[in-house]
Amino acid sequence: MEVLSFLTDGVLLALAPTNLFLIVIGVTVGLFIGAMPGLGSVNGVAILLPITFLVPPGSAIIFLAAIYYGAMYGGAISSVALGIPGASTAVATTFDGRPLALQGRASLALVTAALASFVGGTVANVFFTLFAPILASLALSFGPPEIFALMLLAFATFVGLGGDDIPKTIFSICFGLVLATVGFDTISGEPRLVLFDIPGFLRGIGFIVLAIGVYGIGEMLWTIEQTRGEITTTNPKMTAKGMMSDTKEAVRRGWKGTWIGSLIGFFVGILPAAGATPGSLMSYGVAKMVSNTPQEFGNGSPNGVAAPEAANNSASTGSMLPMLTLGIPGSPTTAILLGGMVIWGLTPGPRLFVDESEFVWGLIGSFYISNIAALLINLAFIPLFIWMLRMPFTILAPLIFVLSIVGGFAASRSMHDLWLIVIFGIAAFFMRKFDYPLAPAVLAIVLGPIAEPTLRQSLLLSSGDPMIFFTRPIAGPITIIAIILILLPAIKLIRGSRRVEEA
């Protein structure tokens, strides 16, 4: 009951006129920041951080957290409308959101994304409110072996994303892992795979560069090739009755992905250095694995939209937990929020809930209000996003190209990255043409920079003994499950070939 009393006070504080105004503005700004390719919550929070010094610290972090919430919702917009992920957290949304848009079901995709995001955020808020101290101690028990086991599990969940062609899927994963190693070695500091001694490769290959190239330029080239220059347009319908129908269909066909994403996203989000992107990718893979109709994934499945969207919103709240309770940021965005708190004279850690209880519960209360505001504002803007899709592709293609180039340049301000975007776009086009799956390569470059250092740190801890991944109480079960999941497609393939021989 004491928790409910604190939460009520926090919600009332968040509903104060100044805080409520900042929540609405923050969510709206975040929605459009998340929808812009190359920006995302990290850049949005960093850019707007100086503005917050005009208001009290409590209101300031409520405003920044609202931007974070809005950006998580907004990432789905460009993924569905343009096929370009607004941020790395929305990449998995592209897999099924874009096919739905091309089928004239963009409204269903956007409504599903909004509702799943709301449920994911709500579930995470409840967990955060009730179990903050317990979950913080759980997050602390995750060392390098546990993080690597979790990344291995993530790889296991998307081994099947490339379809039944296992060799091509494995090739795609390995290709993504090679790209993830470009740059400086995180352990020794030595440069690796610096092609032709080009200095730009020393920074590594940024994920947003790969995502914009593959899903912006590559998708544009593929669509042009398929339509052969014909004037094409999707013909989405948008009426109040149609939106109600889409809402019912989103609930009916997307509930399983929503709950999978809500739970997985939160527990991955609370782990330091994990964040929303691995959570959304794992949720998509798990949703496909447990689906009765896995063949729908990649072709316009509402569950394929719901799972990553619920996960990235759930993880964004989860990543706040280690920041507040331990002083350890759970994602790049919360690292910026942590810096802001220190500047404002607040010390994150276990004492924060005691010494600054009004600030903490006001922030937690704002999570609930921001979640509701984000849902309502997102649904209100869906007609605008649908209008964008009515443009002929002859107009949309140059717009996608310009947004891809501008978004790629805004992220790093490097011409080297712009050339990489074009090269990745052309490579993605040819991979699609020869039926090589793109998703595993893109996901591998996300998880590679997390998996490699944790693997090497784990082996350093055990003097090279790989049994460290099996003997630790948390890492062991996760590793065993991951290995089983990795072997399942091979077992299915062997059984299938035996049946063919017997027939």
Inter-CA distances, 484 with 39, 42, 165, 466, 490, Å? 38, 36, 19, 17, 10
- Give residue 286's domain range: 2-502
Other CB atoms within a 10 A radius of the CB of residue 136 amount to 18
Splitting the chain (503 residues) into consecutive groups of 10 residues, what average pLDDT does each group show?
A: 78 87 89 74 73 77 86 82 75 86 83 90 88 69 84 73 66 86 83 84 80 79 68 52 74 87 87 73 85 83 90 86 74 75 74 77 88 87 72 72 77 82 89 80 79 89 90 89 79 70 63
Spatial separation of the C-alpha atoms in residues 51 and 60, rounded to whole Å: 8
Residues 6+ apart with CB under 8 A from 449: 180, 186, 204
| Structure tokens that stand for 477 in this block | 């079960």
Query: What is the structure's pLDDT at 232?
Result: 47
Residues 250 and 105: their CA atoms lie apart, in Å, by: 11
Q: What is the CA radius of gyration of the chain?
A: 22
CA atoms within 13 A on the CB side of 448: 24
The DSSP bridge partners found for residue 183 are 192
For the chain, the domain total comes to 1
